[in-house]
Amino acid sequence: MVDPVLFDKDLIARTRQHYEQNPWVAQVHSIQKLFPNELVVKLELRKPIVAVEMKRTKNRAYYYLVDNQSVRLPGEYAKVPELPLTLPVIIGVIKPPPPAGNRWQDQGLNDALAVAQTLDEYQVYGKLDVAQIDVANSGGRKNKKESEVVIWTRDKIAIQW
């Protein structure tokens, strides 16, 4: 039996709009109706590449996932989620997180994303055992004579970037 919804002339436009509003969706490539009652959606999901640590109180921090385009992904986590990929923790970001699906406008975060993408591209995470990327001095906020980005290994070794 054919579903009458498939004859709805606005079905593809509404479906595209629905997926494009989802913060996890980077791009909708195509939507196709297939007779008798199928809809095929091809899309690209956002992939988190860092977890941003934001301290709320002295003893409490929350983590937010961010993709390579500075887009904040849904969720607020009490600890970094366990995922099948390496997510360095970014510390020192000043601006508060935007709503999910929006770009996080923070120079320190942009600096950290550039470093994280380079580390990922050259497959350095496993070799250095990267734990954090510290951007507290991004733009020379603390000291213009010191490195703006510091990579911290799990063994507490600082790598000036």
pLDDT per residue as tens digits for the range 52-99: 999 988 889 999 999 999 999 999 999 999 888 878 999 999 999 999
Q: Report whether pLDDT(8) > 80.
A: no
CB 108 within 8 A of CB 136: yes
pLDDT at 5: 58
Nearest to 56 by CA among 80, 77, 82, 83: 77
| Inter-residue contact 109 to 136 (CB < 8 Å) | no
Integer Cα distance of 55 and 8 in angstroms:
48
Beta strands 130-134 and 89-91 are: parallel
Closest by Cα among 139, 46, 155, 126 to 92: 139
Average pLDDT over residues 119-125: 86
